[in-house]
Structure 1
Amino acid sequence: MSIQWFPGHMHKARLEIQATLPKVDVVIEILDARIPYSSENPMLAELRGEKPCLKVLAKSDLADEAMTAIWHAHFEKTVGVRAQAVTTEDVPTIRRLKSIATSMVPHRRGRTVTAMIVGIPNVGKSTIINYLAGRKIAKTGNTPAVTKQQQRVNIGDGVTLLDTPGVLWPNVLNVNSGYRLALLGSIKETAMEYADIGFFAARYMLAEYPDKLIERYGLDTTPTTELEAIEAIGRKRGCLGKSNLVDIDRASRILVTELRSGGFGPLTLETPQTMQREKTQTEALAAEKAERDAAKDAKRKKRFRDRERAKRKARERR
């Protein structure tokens, strides 16, 4: 499945972020602690350059605590980057993000610090903004693309916050990242197929958390394939259609919905090792695509030249 969801307001938001970044002191990037790599926007990294960045691992109560600590250490190896895991159950930690951000720009001591807060859709950015400000200033919702335009907010303690719409990138080349984004609700439902996402989720759970899958659905044995897993879930939850066949779409929706909401308990869907492996694979795929595109372009140009040459010869014969 290819994930491509980049509506017009996201393109506009990207241009606004690019134009505003030079006036910003520090960037606060909200990530989903369950998918820190896949929820990290590569387009933002390119635009941000060397500007200080605070990586906030949101929804950390839904992620594996030990793995979150590993990701925290991974991010802080990068110069100019700090990391902090947060959960809406621990509001004081969220509010400390202001002091962490200001400490990253000591040259602004005594002056107002401008922080741009960014993140992919449905990562919890608006909720964090409301806690930082101590009041409701940003719309929240369980669907992506709630925030549509930038807004500037004074959140106190000498910090002005620039809120930006949730932005993906035009083409998610890493197929696995696309699946994870869809699985955790950062892709609009109309841009994905539940059966595809359900098979991905079942495959991952069988490989990494088979006991949780068995416990959640009361399975008698461990399924050997993702199809067996989806069918077993469907039978347990009554997703049966004509001829007693499992409705794959309904069963997939159940698995996706319950995994997304934390029904399996804390879990993390990727590691720094996963990231390195998939980055290498994605770079190879991107290089292959660029090579294919260049070859197609060369063929188009040759056909055009051949047509023009044939036209000239035809004119000369007249």
Structure 2
Amino acid sequence: MHFQWYPGHMTKAKRMMQENIKLIDLIIELVDARVPLSSRNPDIDELGKNKARLIILNKSDLAEERWNEAWTEYFKKKGFHVVKVNSRKGGGVKSVQSVIQEACKAKIERDRKRGILNRPVRAMVVGIPNVGKSTFINSLAGKAAAKTGNKPGVTKGKQWIRLNKQVELLDTPGILWPKFEDQTVGLRLALIGSIKDEVLQTEELAAELIRFLAANYPGVLENKYTITAAQDPYVMLGRIAESRHCLVRGNELDTEKAAMLLMDDFREGKLGRLTLEYPQTEEA
């Protein structure tokens, strides 16, 4: 299965970000805690050079805590400020404002020496589709400041949001990059829902998830769906279909429906806290 999704609006969004970068003091980059490296758009480092950087390890409640800690250390060693956040429930959001001030300390001090007082920090919020930017901003602002949705591509235009006298945020649409050099990255992004499901083969995707879970989290599927293990992921998919009564006419197993059910359960954290990539393997 080949992964690629780069619709025209992403080119436009990237141009908008390039045009606005000169106004920005800080880049707040949201990544998905289950795939922190794969969910980083490589273009952001080029866009954000010479800017203060903050990484938000978002959806941290869906990933294993020990790996959240390991990834936090990994990014800190690379020179980023890092905050773990569960935007839907608000966990970790309170500490973000103070970390923004900390990340922009040098800029605030420079302003002070020039006699510029109380100029707000301007931060650009960036991230791939469906990483949770709008929900994060709403959590931070305490109101529905940005449109939210669980489909990739809900935030279309440019939005400035004033958090308070100290901070202004520029919300940006979620963008991917034109070509995934490594198709494993594409697979991980498809699994977390950052590539439109309509362009994917759901059963193949579910089979890849089953393979990964069998190798790294044995027993998770068996416990969740009350089924017995099988070597073949497609056999497992059939057993999930049977267990959840996914049937088509004539009492045939509906493995397509079972695949969608499995993907939804994974994305919503119903299979437990799962991390799909690990820092030491990335550095090896």
| TM-score for the superposition, normalised by structure 1 | 0.82
How many residue pairs align between the two structures?
A: 275
Aligned pairs for 1:198-209 (under 5 A) are 198-209=206-217
Which deviates more, 243-252 or 182-191?
243-252
Amino acid aligned to 2:244: R
Amino acid aligned to 1:4: Q
How far is 1:235 from its partner?
1.8
- Deviations along 1:131-156, one digit per CA (max 9) or x if unpaired, are 22222110001111000011111111
Amino acid aligned to 2:272: G
Aligned pairs for 1:1-318 (under 5 A) are 1-79=1-79, 81-88=80-87, 91=90, 93-109=92-108, 110-220=118-228, 222-241=229-248, 245-276=252-283
How far is 1:276 from its partner?
3.8
Seen in structure 2, the aligned counterparts of structure 1 residues 210 and 92 have a Cα distance that, compared at 3 Å, is closer
Return 5+ residue gaps in structure 1 as ranges. Answer: 278-318
- Deviations along 1:13-51, one digit per CA (max 9) or x if unpaired, are 101111211221110001111111111111112222242
Sequence identity (%): 40
SS in structure 2 opposite 1:91? Answer: coil
Q: Give the number of the structure whose residues are more often helix, by fraction.
A: 1
Separation in 1, partners of 2:90, 2:276: 25
Cα RMSD over matched residues? 1.8
SS in structure 2 opposite 1:216? Answer: helix
Separation in 1, partners of 2:226, 2:127: 37
Q: Which has the larger radius of gyration?
A: 1
Spell out structure 1 runs of 4+ moving beyond 2 A: 88-93, 107-111, 238-248, 273-277
Return 5+ residue gaps in structure 2 as ranges. Answer: 109-117
SS in structure 1 opposite 2:180? Answer: coil
Amino acid aligned to 1:169: W
* Contact 1:98–1:157 (Cα < 8 Å) also in 2: no
Which deviates more, 200-209 or 49-58?
49-58
How far is 1:240 from its partner?
3.8
